[in-house]
Amino acid sequence: MKLVVRVKLLPTPVQAEALEATLHACNQAATWAAGVAFEKDARRPLELRKHTYAEVRVRWGLGAQAAQHAIKKTCDAYTTLKANLRNGRYGRPGTRRHTRASGKPVVFRPDAAQPYDDRMLSWQHQARTVSIWTTAGRLKNVAFTGQAGQLEVLAQHRRGESDLMCQGGKWFLIATCDIDEASLNTHPAGFVGVDLGVVNIAVTSEGTKHSGRRINRKRENDRKLRSKLQNKNTKSARRRAKKHAGKEARRARDINHKISKRIVAEAERTGRGIALEQLTGIRERARLRKPQRTTLHSWPFAQLGSFIAYKAKKAGVPIMYVDPAYTSQECSQCHHTARANRPSRAVFSCRVCGFVDHADHNASHNIRQRGWMAWVCGARSTAPELTLIA
Ligand SMILES: [Zn+2]
């Protein structure tokens, strides 16, 4: 199972300068190679290398590996473009958008990510430093930092290439890790249904509730502060707003890690799978009063879903995605479905059989049943291949 870990580099000013010059050189070289590829219609690595390798090395001072990666990156970009054109991402052939996308060479941003292999980059996990190739020679002892859990994964399971990238003046390495996963539990004793929502971020059919009340209050305060800073619109206010946004995102990520960990542990302990609602459309589905709407729009449910998915996969817990339509209106006992079953947001009360339950809990049971039905009908556990955990 592949995982992606992001670590932050802490270069000295001199090191940062070398990294920046390197990234710019690699991307200028790649953009130039993309022009050659376009002109000569040479978009395969072997062919393009013939036309560009020598000049890329001399003109931009790239080492052998860096030159190869820059050329490979160019070819990959054309492959992606071709797939996008074919899939209609730029409209139909003949339209202006399509012609504009296909009628000119690919261009790379000066700070586009650059792949590094083990010959160009080595990791000293104990010292938390990397040694990295640049156009100004090899930089030794470039410090890095990251979350403890992720650094552990990195030290034990990193394989293959990493990407160097710069975002908002900060430097990152995105490393691919190959993790052993427990063999999949092919005979789950049932499923744990998970209902995601605004008031309660996650409620499971086992009765575990991950309340969002405290978090929502905090987020409401964050939102007020944000709009206050936006109205102020001075340089220092903007800086503060940016810093605060980072803090908010980190806190949300921590909470998502905790919730997903508990849900997966619960399923693993009881030998069950996890039934999760398909996350597309959670925003469209929810009809909410305005203050709640802002909360919903800003809570990273997709991230929570991906955390649950990768932790489940690692633990061998099967996951089923179910269609969440009407799970909040359906009675989990007699399956009568009506809007009138929900007299209020929190209460479920069936108009036919009289079953009463907390609304989110009732919904989680419906999700559990749908997951179980899909599993019994032979659908396979589906978890995404590559997940960003940073
Ligand atoms: Zn009922």
> Which of 22, 31, 24 has the alpha carbon at shortest distance from 78?
31
Q: Is 9 left (phi over 0), alpha (psi -120 to 50) or beta?
A: beta
Tokens, residue 182: 């427990």
Per cent of the chain over pLDDT 90 is 57
- Neighbouring CB atoms inside 10 A of 144's CB total 22
Spatial CB neighbours of 226, under 8 Å, sequence gap ≥ 6: 241, 244, 245
- Residue 22 CA to ligand 1 center (angstroms) comes to 65
- Residue 194 CA to ligand 1 center (angstroms) comes to 20
- Quick one: pLDDT at residue 224? 84
Q: What is the average per-residue pLDDT within 111-126?
A: 94
- Residue 351 CA to ligand 1 center (angstroms) comes to 7
Q: For residues 22 and 11, give the distance between their C-alpha atoms in angstroms, rounded to a whole number.
A: 14
Q: What is the average per-residue pLDDT within 156-179?
A: 91
Residues 328-354: pLDDT tens digits? Answer: 999 999 999 999 999 998 999 999 999
Higher pLDDT, residue 199 or 359: 359
Tokens, residue 78: 């054309």
Contact 348, 362 (CB under 8 A): yes
- Residue 285 CA to ligand 1 center (angstroms) comes to 23
What stretches of 138-234 show up as alpha helix (H) in DSSP? 148-157, 213-232
- Quick one: pLDDT at residue 285? 47
pLDDT at 380 over 50: yes
- Residue 350 CA to ligand 1 center (angstroms) comes to 5
Give ranges for CATH 3.30.420 in the chain.
191-215+258-384
Q: For residues 79 and 44, give the distance between their C-alpha atoms in angstroms, rounded to a whole number.
A: 9
- Quick one: pLDDT at residue 385? 47
Residues 130-167: pLDDT tens digits? Answer: 999 999 999 999 999 988 878 988 999 998 899 999 98
∠ CA(111), CA(116), CA(122), 5° rounding? 125
Mean pLDDT is lowest, of 129-138, 189-198, 221-230, for 221-230
- Residue 275 CA to ligand 1 center (angstroms) comes to 21
DSSP conformational letter for 328 = T
Q: For residues 56 and 49, give the distance between their C-alpha atoms in angstroms, rounded to a whole number.
A: 9
- Quick one: pLDDT at residue 31? 97
Q: What is the average per-residue pLDDT within 186-215?
A: 87
pLDDT at 386 over 50: no
Burial class (CB in 10 A: 0-12, 13-18, 19+), 164: buried
- Residue 340 CA to ligand 1 center (angstroms) comes to 12
> Which of 222, 310, 326 has the alpha carbon at shortest distance from 261?
310
- Residue 341 CA to ligand 1 center (angstroms) comes to 9
pLDDT at 292 over 70: no
- Residue 303 CA to ligand 1 center (angstroms) comes to 33
Q: Is 124 left (phi over 0), alpha (psi -120 to 50) or beta?
A: beta
Residues 33-60: pLDDT tens digits? Answer: 999 999 999 999 999 999 999 999 999 9
> Which of 149, 384, 178 has the alpha carbon at shortest distance from 261?
149
Higher pLDDT, residue 53 or 186: 53
Look at domain 191-215+258-384 and name its CATH class. alpha beta
Look at residue 305 and give its three-state secondary structure.
Answer: helix
- Residue 345 CA to ligand 1 center (angstroms) comes to 17
Look at residue 330 and give its three-state secondary structure.
Answer: strand
What pTM was computed for the model? 0.69
Q: For residues 61 and 42, give the distance between their C-alpha atoms in angstroms, rounded to a whole number.
A: 23
- Quick one: pLDDT at residue 284? 47
- Quick one: pLDDT at residue 296? 47
Confidence grade of residue 226 (pLDDT, cut at 50, 70, 90): confident
- Residue 349 CA to ligand 1 center (angstroms) comes to 8
- Residue 364 CA to ligand 1 center (angstroms) comes to 15
Tokens, residue 240: 């503060």
Confidence grade of residue 280 (pLDDT, cut at 50, 70, 90): low
- Residue 201 CA to ligand 1 center (angstroms) comes to 25
Confidence grade of residue 297 (pLDDT, cut at 50, 70, 90): low
Contact 63, 133 (CB under 8 A): yes
Burial 180-218 (b: 16+ CB within 10 A, else e): eeeebbeebebbbbbbbbbbbbbbbbbebebebeebbee
Q: What is the average per-residue pLDDT within 201-230?
A: 83
pLDDT at 170 over 90: yes
- Quick one: pLDDT at residue 225? 83
- Quick one: pLDDT at residue 186? 86
- Quick one: pLDDT at residue 387? 46
Spatial CB neighbours of 368, under 8 Å, sequence gap ≥ 6: 190, 191, 192, 193, 205, 275
Kindly list the distances between the CA atom of residue 245 and the CA atoms of 150, 240, 287, in Å, as whole numbers in the listed order. Answer: 22, 9, 26
- Residue 355 CA to ligand 1 center (angstroms) comes to 5
